[in-house]
Structure 1
């Protein structure tokens, strides 16, 4: 494709804008997303991709979508161009703040967490308070999910406890930790905290609690959970039965 050749060609690095103008190609949002996606997966030049992104963003009648923004941020983050990343986000904030979503938060934090400390990752998370339309629990969950994927569950748990009073944890918050429970004590602690936070467990949460009890051979506790489910009119499913075997 003409646009792929222009964006990837070193000879066009100094005259990318002129080459794009002279191409005669009608640049739709769909075509732009495809070219940027191709740059991402072909590990193309991030600076040329950024120039392509900025050029299209300044054209009359052309508007970037959330997908193109997140793809551009991924390209920059992979190359550790974090200053450029924040520049793009600030620019988008004034153009269309709604493009910056909780998924955007996770894309950026994941790139940062790969090479920076937990503290730096949390500091970067705080920057989003001035960028996203709603700096809420969904964004908090993006941070926790990033930490357990890129750092460790211990890091995610520590950050959760330090920031949980600034946000209101929900079922999705606790979902992040569910499959990672190793001891009954930790599971019981989170289960108790869910209740205290006003988050009522559902079948998935109960399944995980039964599973951790069975894994630690605490079968009596597992059966008590099943009885509790019945008392709350929650019918045990296949997951509970399989865990109890």
Structure 2
């Protein structure tokens, strides 16, 4: 049975439409343009689907890529877009690595720093640190110019998140001595190390590194801003202000980034009056507010439910010779939703479309949240169908929110519809999304569909959680579906042999289960 399913899956890949290769050729050739055309998107979607649907780890991916991607028309832009989609789709990191290496080894061109950084980010996010280090070593040998501060930042930030303080310092030294060979580490590299701790809100560690190493790496304004950002993210307004005064005493000149961080710190604490005071202070010292400054204040007005001030600040954007963007619209929308004026928020979303401002995942998330609170499931469903018609794929937290809404309102049909929509678009939904959907399906006796969704995740090279594993085990035993239970067990075991599970992932179905 398993052999038949693998063969069937392989046949589905090998019998893709013949026009795919020619379509990809058009897409690759035209992908040097900054704006992605419809044909480009189709080509990107096709490759992402092929990669995600490829049976892992049963067959190597490289021969399939060679079959469907014409090497003579590969471009960096297209590779970057595919890797970006794989990142957003939570694809298996080893598949993304194989795709990047296909370009690295088979193409006549040097990959871009952006493509390398995206691949590194996918690996580090999934904690494949050994593979990430191997990739950095290979890039050091073949294309050392691709080793940038950004790639260093990606690696150090994930090590700081998932490993120990000592591991992060060791990684910094390894980069200095073994990876970025010939590069003299100075303040810029020191700032990257500090940022790794600050973005994870590890301010005790950040302080320790600063005190230990600032004599070797003289700090600059950016160094102080990074520390300010860390304290702001940790919610410590007092520490932000103390460090700001220390910064001034040390002779550093605050810039717009400095003020933006302080303003955001006060806004997040609901101290909107203090944030406005800082805006006045900025103008008095001829540090001109940026679009980010005003957008932050619009968010702040929303936190204190002052939609009139939020609207006023939004109108000030053009008066200050600045140009609003999607982020500014989202900030005003959020303020309206927080003030329970969902109708105005929806009208603003429509205005964005009329003025050709692109809706992003945050736009949809804000409006879904407002509709859920004001109009309930019906309002959410209406916008959901519009989103699908526009072929927009939201980010993970919006997917999780929608699945939670659908399951709680007994709309499992929509939950499955969203799941299938993501799979069709080449996404491997996040583990939290699977947890919600499987819980909803199993609680209503729809075990077969819960099994299918879990199998799709395993087929794409992603582990399922321990909670999902136990729930499926219990439900399949109750319904006597021993063949499905055996299939699930074998898939989990095979994936585990290639890809050790992280904390919270299921190792395998209980050994006590009778699989005979």
Shorter-chain TM-score above 0.5: yes
4+ residue stretches of structure 1 with deviation over 3 A? 178-181, 183-192, 202-208, 234-239
Residue pairs, 1:20-59, within 5 angstroms? 20-25=65-70, 26-59=73-106
Contact residue 51 and residue 61 of structure 2 kept, 8 A: yes
1:5 pairs, out of 27, 43, 49, with: 49
Pick one of 220, 223, 227 that aligns with 1:173: 223
Question: Structure 1 pair 236/82, CA: closer, same or farther in 2 (3 Å)?
Answer: closer
Considering only aligned residues, what root-mean-square deviation do their CA atoms show, in Å? Answer: 3.3
Contact kept? 1:12, 1:19, Cα under 8 Å = no
1:68 CA displacement: 0.7
Distance 1:14 1:139, change over 3 A: same
Work out whether residues 113 and 151 of structure 1, in 8 Å CA contact, stay in contact via their aligned partners in 2.
no
| Aligned residue in 2 for 1:215 | none
- Partner deviation per Cα, 1:183-232 (whole Å, 9 max, x = no partner): 5665544444x34xxxx424559969x999xxxxxxxxxxxxx9xxxxxx
Q: Which residue of 1 aligns with 2:140?
A: 93
Structure 1 pair 43–24 and aligned structure 2 pair: CA distance change class (3 A):
closer
Residues of 1 paired with 2:139 and 2:287: CA distance?
47
Q: Any idea what SS the aligned residue of 1:10 has?
A: coil
Count of residues in Structure 1 that have an aligned counterpart in Structure 2: 218
Displacement after TM superposition at 1:135 (Å): 2.3
Per-residue deviation, 1:3: 2.1
Corresponding residue of 1:19: 64
1:109 aligns with 2:156: yes
- Gap regions ≥5 residues in structure 1: 213-225, 227-233, 240-245
1:72-93 CA distance string (max 9 Å, x none): 0111011111011110001101
1:140 maps to 190
Pair 134,34 (structure 1): closer, same or farther in 2 beyond 3 Å: farther
Distance, in Å, in 1 between the alignment partners of 2:258 and 2:93 is 46
Unmatched runs of 5 consecutive residues or more in structure 2: 1-42, 232-236, 266-280, 294-516
Q: Is the 8 A contact 1:106 1:142 kept in 2?
A: yes
- CA distance in structure 2 between the partners assigned to 1:34 and 1:80 by the alignment: 22
Question: Does residue 182 of structure 1 match 2:238?
Answer: yes
1:68 is paired with a residue of what secondary structure? Answer: helix
Residue 17 of structure 1 contacts residue 52 of structure 1 at CA under 8 Å; is this kept in 2?
A: yes
TM-score (norm 1): 0.75
Match of 2:130 in 1: 83
Please state if 1:122 is matched with 2:169: yes
Structure 1 residues 203 and 49: CA distance shift in structure 2, 3 A = closer
Aligned partner of 1:229 in structure 2 is none
Q: What TM-score do the two structures reach when normalised by structure 2?
A: 0.38
Name the CA shift for 1:187/1:35 in 2 (closer, same or farther; >3 Å). Answer: closer
Distance 1:35 1:185, change over 3 A: closer
What is the Cα deviation at residue 11 of structure 1?
A: 6.3
Cα offset, 1:134, TM superposition: 4.3
Structure-2 change in CA distance of 1:3 and 1:203 (3 Å): closer
